[in-house]
Amino acid sequence: MDIKVLKVTILPGDKPLKATADVMVGTWKIVDWGIIKYGGKSIQVKCPRVVRKDPRTGEISIRMLLDMPYEEFRPISDIILEAYRRELLKFQGNVTADEPETTVTFKKTEGS
């Protein structure tokens, strides 16, 4: 399956959510992947999700919108992180806009 990052949006501020990404996976466009960093930990990619607050209790719940095996999530995550790093360098003025876009073909092997 082809995986292509369409857009990375760098978010200002010091919050854990550093950026969002829109990605094409095959013929599916999946928006709002989260690029998150908590404290000194490494940067992580999170699947799109919905956050809801119960109006009666004030309790917050998070529901993932995708449930996929790690073997399928990993290549998508790697490509998003590569695109994020490139976009962050451009945002900081360290890379020109002429850098090639991030597109990778991921072939699923038999038995996975």
Residue 59 predicted with pLDDT over 80: yes
Query: Could you tell me if 22 and 7 are in contact, meaning their C-beta atoms sit under 8 angstroms apart?
Result: yes
pTM of the model: 0.77
Give the chain's length. Answer: 112
Torsion of CA 97, 102, 103, 108, to 10 degrees: 180
Confidence class for position 88, pLDDT limits 50, 70, 90: confident
Mean pLDDT of the chain: 85
Distance between CA atoms of residues 85 and 81, nearest Å: 6
